Chains A and B, each alone.
Chain A
Amino acid sequence: MEAVRFENVKFLYREDGDYAVNGVTLTVGEGEFVAVLGRNGSCKSTLAKLINALLVPSEGKVTVFGMDTSDEKKTFEIRKNAGMVFQNPDNQTVASIVEDDIAFGPENIGVPREEIGRRIDFALDAVGMQAFRHMTPSRLSGGQKQRIAIAGVLAVLPKIMILDESTAMLDPKGRREVMDVIKKLNKERGMTVILITHFMEEALEADRAVVMHRGEVVMDASPEEIFSRAEELEAYNLTLPRAAYISKKLAEGGMPVKGAFNAEALAEEICASLQKA
Chain B
Amino acid sequence: MRIVAKGLTYTYNPKSPFASQALKGVDIVIEEGEFFGIIGHTGSGKSTFVQHLNALIRLTGGSLTVGDYDLADKKCKFLELRSKVGMVFQYPEYQLFAETVEKDVMFGLKNFHKEMKEEEMRTAVREALERVDLNYEEVKDKSPFELSGGQRRRVAIAGVIVTRPEILILDEPAAGLDPLGKKEIMQLLHAIHGSWCKTVIIVSHDMDEISENCTRAAVFSEGKVVMEDTPAAIFCRSDELVSLGLDIPVTAKCARLLKERGIEVQTDFTCDDFIGRVLALWKERGKADAQ
Whether A198 pairs with B178 at a CB distance below 8 angstroms is: yes
Q: How far is the CB of A228 from chain B (nearest CB, A)?
A: 18
Closest residue of A by beta carbon distance from B91: A169
Q: Which residues of A contact B281 (CB under 8 A)?
A: 274
A188 to B207, CA, bound (A): 32
Closest residue of B by beta carbon distance from A42: B178
Q: How far is the CB of B265 from chain A (nearest CB, A)?
A: 9
Q: Which of B79-87, B154-162, B252-260 contacts A (4 or more CB under 8 A)?
A: B252-260
A245 to B212, CA, bound (A): 14
Closest residue of A by beta carbon distance from B281: A274
Would you call B98 an interface residue if the criterion is a C-beta within 8 Å of the partner chain's C-beta atoms?
A: no
Closest residue of A by beta carbon distance from B288: A277
Cβ-neighbour of A40 out of B175, B181, B247, B257 (below 8 A)? B181
Closest residue of A by beta carbon distance from B280: A253
Q: How far is the CB of A119 from chain B (nearest CB, A)?
A: 30
Whether A277 pairs with B286 at a CB distance below 8 angstroms is: yes
Q: Which of A50-58, A76-84, A125-133, A265-273 contacts B (4 or more CB under 8 A)?
A: A265-273
Closest residue of B by beta carbon distance from A41: B148
Whether A249 pairs with B285 at a CB distance below 8 angstroms is: no
Q: Which residues of B contact A169 (CB under 8 A)?
A: 175-176
Cβ-neighbour of B275 out of A171, A253, A277 (below 8 A)? A253
Q: How far is the CB of A227 from chain B (nearest CB, A)?
A: 13
Would you call A239 an interface residue if the criterion is a C-beta within 8 Å of the partner chain's C-beta atoms?
A: yes
Q: Which residues of B contact A141 (CB under 8 A)?
A: 42-43
- Given A173-B41, A255-B282, CB of A246 within 8 Å of CB of B178: no
Cβ-neighbour of A255 out of B249, B261, B274, B278 (below 8 A)? B278
A246 to B282, CA, bound (A): 14
Closest residue of A by beta carbon distance from B289: A277
Whether B179 pairs with A40 at a CB distance below 8 angstroms is: no
Whether B279 pairs with A246 at a CB distance below 8 angstroms is: no
Q: Which residues of B contact A173 (CB under 8 A)?
A: 41, 245, 247
Q: Which residues of B contact A271 (CB under 8 A)?
A: 258, 261, 263
Count of A-B residue pairs with CB < 8 Å: 91
Whether B176 pairs with A270 at a CB distance below 8 angstroms is: no
A263 to B247, CA, bound (A): 13
A242 to B271, CA, bound (A): 8
Q: Which residues of B contact A215 (CB under 8 A)?
A: none
Q: Which residues of B contact A270 (CB under 8 A)?
A: 254, 258, 263, 278
Whether B177 pairs with A40 at a CB distance below 8 angstroms is: yes
Q: How far is the CB of A192 from chain B (nearest CB, A)?
A: 25
Whether A168 pairs with B247 at a CB distance below 8 angstroms is: no
Would you call A243 an interface residue if the criterion is a C-beta within 8 Å of the partner chain's C-beta atoms?
A: yes
Would you call A108 an interface residue if the criterion is a C-beta within 8 Å of the partner chain's C-beta atoms?
A: no
Q: Which residues of A contact B178 (CB under 8 A)?
A: 39-40, 198, 238
Whether B274 pairs with A39 at a CB distance below 8 angstroms is: no
Q: How far is the CB of B146 from chain A (nearest CB, A)?
A: 14
Would you call A237 an interface residue if the criterion is a C-beta within 8 Å of the partner chain's C-beta atoms?
A: yes
Whether A168 pairs with B254 at a CB distance below 8 angstroms is: no
Q: How far is the CB of B153 from chain A (nearest CB, A)?
A: 11
Closest residue of A by beta carbon distance from B208: A242
Would you call A179 an interface residue if the criterion is a C-beta within 8 Å of the partner chain's C-beta atoms?
A: no
> Chain A 229-241 against B: per-residue CB contact (8 Å), 1 yes, 0 no?
0000000011100
Cβ-neighbour of A266 out of B42, B149, B254 (below 8 A)? B254
Chain A CB count within 10 A is highest, among B176, B271, B285, for B176
Cβ-neighbour of A172 out of B149, B206, B274, B278 (below 8 A)? B206
Whether A239 pairs with B179 at a CB distance below 8 angstroms is: yes
Cβ-neighbour of A274 out of B148, B247, B271, B282 (below 8 A)? B282
Would you call A85 an interface residue if the criterion is a C-beta within 8 Å of the partner chain's C-beta atoms?
A: no
Would you call A16 an interface residue if the criterion is a C-beta within 8 Å of the partner chain's C-beta atoms?
A: no
Q: How far is the CB of B6 from chain A (nearest CB, A)?
A: 29
A169 to B149, CA, bound (A): 14
Whether A263 pairs with B205 at a CB distance below 8 angstroms is: no
Would you call B250 an interface residue if the criterion is a C-beta within 8 Å of the partner chain's C-beta atoms?
A: yes
Closest residue of B by beta carbon distance from A249: B275
Whether A267 pairs with B257 at a CB distance below 8 angstroms is: yes
Closest residue of B by beta carbon distance from A169: B176
A253 to B278, CA, bound (A): 10
Would you call A200 an interface residue if the criterion is a C-beta within 8 Å of the partner chain's C-beta atoms?
A: yes
Would you call B54 an interface residue if the criterion is a C-beta within 8 Å of the partner chain's C-beta atoms?
A: no
Q: How far is the CB of B4 from chain A (nearest CB, A)?
A: 29
CB-contacts of B159-192 with A (<8 A)? 175-181, 183
Q: Which residues of B contact A238 (CB under 8 A)?
A: 178-180
Cβ-neighbour of B271 out of A40, A172, A237, A245 (below 8 A)? A245
Would you call B61 an interface residue if the criterion is a C-beta within 8 Å of the partner chain's C-beta atoms?
A: no
21 A-B residue pairs with CB within 8 Å: A40-B148, A40-B149, A40-B150, A40-B181, A141-B43, A168-B176, A172-B207, A172-B247, A200-B179, A238-B178, A239-B179, A253-B279, A255-B278, A262-B250, A263-B250, A263-B253, A267-B254, A270-B258, A274-B282, A277-B282, A277-B285
Given pairs A141-B43, A198-B178, A239-B183, 12 additional interface contacts (CB within 8 A): A198-B179, A200-B179, A239-B180, A242-B250, A246-B251, A246-B274, A263-B254, A266-B250, A267-B253, A270-B254, A271-B261, A277-B289
The 7 closest A-B pairs by CB, nearest first: A267-B257, A263-B253, A198-B178, A277-B285, A239-B179, A171-B205, A253-B279
